[in-house]
Amino acid sequence: MTENLIDIRALKKYYPVKGGVFKRHVADVKAVDGVNLEIKKGECLGLVGESGCGKTTLGKTILRLHDATSGRIYYDRSRSVVEEAEDGFNSDNPSEVRRSIELLKKIDMTRLKGKGLAAMRKKIQIVFQDPSNSLNPRMLVKSIISEPIVTQHLVKARELEGRVVELLSTVGMANEHMMRYPHEFSGGQRQRIAIARALATNPEFVMMDEPTSALDVSVQAQILNLLMNLQENFKLTYLFVTHHLLVVKYISNRIAVMYLGRIVELSATKELFEKPFHPYTKALLSAIPIPDPETGREKIILSGDVPNPIDPPPGCRFHPRCKYIKDMCREIEPELENADSDHLVACHRWKEI
Amino acid sequence: MVSNKTTDKKATAQHPRLKEFLFSTRRFLKNPLTIIGLVIILGFTVIAIFAPLLAPPENPDNPYKIPHTGWKTEPSPPSKEHPLGTLPQQYDILYGIIWGTRSAFRIGFLVVLANMLIGIFLGSIAGYFGGWVDEVIMRITDIFYSIPYLVMAMALVIAIGRGLKSIIIVLIILGWPTYTRILRSEILVVREKDFMQAARASGASHLRIILKHVLPNTIYSVLIVASMNIGITVLYAAALSFLGLGADTGYADWGQMVSKCRNYIVGPADNRLGFWYVVFTPGFVLALFVLGWNLLGDAARDVFDPKMRRR
pLDDT in tens, A60-85: 999 999 899 999 999 988 888 888 88
Going by C-alpha positions, the residue among B157, B125, B161 that lies closest to residue B140 is B125
Minimal CA separation from A187 to chain B, in Å: 14
- Mean pLDDT of the region A47-59: 89
Q: Which residues of B touch A140 (CB under 8 A)?
A: 16-17
Going by C-alpha positions, the residue among A245, A273, A267, A241 that lies closest to residue A254 is A267
Q: Which residues of B touch A190 (CB under 8 A)?
A: none
Q: How far is CA A304 from CA A321, A328, A349, B129, in A?
A: 6, 21, 21, 39
What's the pLDDT score for residue B10?
Answer: 46
CB contact under 8 A, B202 and A121: yes
Q: Going by C-beta distance under 8 Å and a sequence separation of 6 or more, which residues neighbour residue A241?
A: A47, A55, A56, A58, A59, A207, A208, A209, A210
pLDDT single digits (tens) A253-264: 999 999 999 999
In this model, does residue B284 exceed pLDDT 80?
yes
In this model, does residue B5 exceed pLDDT 80?
no
What's the pLDDT score for residue B3?
Answer: 42
CB contact under 8 A, A125 and B15: no
What's the pLDDT score for residue A194?
Answer: 95
Structure-model confidence comparison of residues B98 and A293, the more confident one = B98
Residue A165 buriedness (CB in 10 A; 0-12 / 13-18 / 19+): middle
pLDDT single digits (tens) B126-157: 999 988 999 999 999 999 999 999 999 999 99
Q: Which residues of B touch A109 (CB under 8 A)?
A: none
Q: Which residues of B touch A176 (CB under 8 A)?
A: 4, 7-8, 11
CB contact under 8 A, A126 and B212: no
Give which of B194, B221, B311 to mutate to test A binding, by max A Cβ within 10 Å.
B194
- Mean pLDDT of the region A161-171: 93
Distance CA A258, CA A47 (A): 7
pLDDT single digits (tens) B206-258: 999 999 999 999 998 899 899 989 999 999 999 999 888 888 888 888 888 88
Distance CA B84, CA B281 (A): 8
Reported as a pLDDT band with limits 50, 70 and 90, residue A266 is: very high
Question: Which residue(s) pair with A27 in the sheet?
Answer: A17
- Please count the other Cβ atoms lying within 10 Å of the Cβ belonging to residue A128: 25
On whether any CB of chain B is under 8 Å from the CB of A195, the answer is: no
In this model, does residue B8 exceed pLDDT 50?
no
Lowest mean pLDDT segment, chosen from A6-20, A185-199, A301-315, B117-131: A301-315
Distance CA B41, CA B283 (A): 16
Q: How far is CA A283 from CA A187, A257, A276, A322, in A?
A: 32, 12, 10, 10
Q: Are B289 and B282 in contact (CB under 8 A)?
A: no
In the chain, the amino acid numbered B139 is R
Reported as a pLDDT band with limits 50, 70 and 90, residue B311 is: very low
Distance CA B19, CA A294 (A): 57
Q: Give me the total of CB pairs closer than 8 Å, taking one residue from chain A and one from chain B.
A: 76
pTM over 0.90: no
In this model, does residue A335 exceed pLDDT 90?
no
What's the pLDDT score for residue A23?
Answer: 77
Reported as a pLDDT band with limits 50, 70 and 90, residue B13 is: low
Q: Which residues of B touch A130 (CB under 8 A)?
A: 194
On whether any CB of chain B is under 8 Å from the CB of A353, the answer is: no
Going by C-alpha positions, the residue among A245, A247, A253, A328 that lies closest to residue A283 is A245
3-class state of residue A48 by DSSP: strand
% of chain A residues with pLDDT over 90: 44
Q: Are A46 and A240 in contact (CB under 8 A)?
A: yes
pLDDT single digits (tens) B156-178: 999 998 888 999 999 999 999 99
- Mean pLDDT of the region B64-92: 80
CB contact under 8 A, B202 and A125: yes
CA angle at A152 for the pair A41 and B127, rounded to the nearest 5°: 105
Closest CB to A152: pick one of B11, B194, B203. B203
Beta strand pairing call for A237-242 and A44-48: parallel
CB contact under 8 A, B199 and A194: no
Beta-strand ranges (E) seen in chain A are: 4-19, 24-40, 44-48, 70-75, 124-127, 205-209, 237-242, 254-259, 262-268, 337-340, 343-345
CB contact under 8 A, B201 and A140: no
What's the pLDDT score for residue B87?
Answer: 79
- Please count the other Cβ atoms lying within 10 Å of the Cβ belonging to residue A314: 12
Reported as a pLDDT band with limits 50, 70 and 90, residue B309 is: low
Distance CA A178, CA A144 (A): 9
What's the pLDDT score for residue B222?
Answer: 92
Q: Which residues of B touch A65 (CB under 8 A)?
A: 197, 200-201
Task: Taking the CA atoms of A142, A145, A146 and A151 in sequence, report the sign of the dihedral they define.
Answer: positive
Q: How far is CA B84 from CA A33, A139, B281, in A?
A: 80, 53, 8
Going by C-alpha positions, the residue among B286, B301, B184 that lies closest to residue B236 is B286
Task: Taking the CA atoms of A146, A149, A152 and A154 in sequence, report the sign of the dihedral they define.
Answer: negative
- Mean pLDDT of the region A284-305: 78
What's the pLDDT score for residue B6?
Answer: 42
Reported as a pLDDT band with limits 50, 70 and 90, residue B308 is: low
Nearest Cα residue in chain A from B14: A179
Closest CB to A126: pick one of B201, B205, B311. B201
Q: How far is CA A226 from CA A90, A251, B245, B270, in A?
A: 42, 11, 71, 91
- Mean pLDDT of the region A31-59: 91
Q: Which residues of B touch A135 (CB under 8 A)?
A: 195
Q: How far is CA B64 from CA B60, B98, B100, B191, B288, in A?
A: 9, 10, 8, 48, 21
Reported as a pLDDT band with limits 50, 70 and 90, residue B310 is: low
The chain-wide mean pLDDT, for chain B, equals: 86
Where residue A62 falls (left for φ over 0; alpha for ψ -120 to 50; beta otherwise) is: alpha
Distance CA B43, CA B31 (A): 19
Lowest mean pLDDT segment, chosen from A195-199, A296-300, B73-77, B148-152: A296-300
Distance CA A345, CA A314 (A): 18
Minimal CA separation from A305 to chain B, in Å: 27
Distance CA B64, CA B254 (A): 11
CB contact under 8 A, A147 and B4: no
- Please count the other Cβ atoms lying within 10 Å of the Cβ belonging to residue B304: 18
- Mean pLDDT of the region B53-76: 81
CB contact under 8 A, B198 and A179: no
Going by C-alpha positions, the residue among B299, B289, B160 that lies closest to residue B235 is B289
Question: Which element (helix H / strand E) includes A173?
Answer: none
Closest CB to A151: pick one of B193, B195, B204. B204
Write out the DSSP string of B154-170. HHHHHHH-SSHHHHHHH
Minimal CA separation from B184 to chain A, in Å: 18
3-class state of residue B34 by DSSP: helix
Task: Taking the CA atoms of A317, A319, A321 and A324 in sequence, report the sign of the dihedral they define.
Answer: positive
Give which of A127, A128, A136 to mutate to test B binding, by max B Cβ within 10 Å.
A136
Question: Which residue(s) pair with A127 in the sheet?
Answer: A208
Separation of first and last alpha carbons in chain B: 31
Going by C-alpha positions, the residue among A306, A207, A328, A326 that lies closest to residue A262 is A306
Structure-model confidence comparison of residues A149 and A323, the more confident one = A149
Give which of B4, B135, B202, B307 to mutate to test A binding, by max A Cβ within 10 Å.
B202
The chain-wide mean pLDDT, for chain A, equals: 89
What's the pLDDT score for residue B11?
Answer: 46
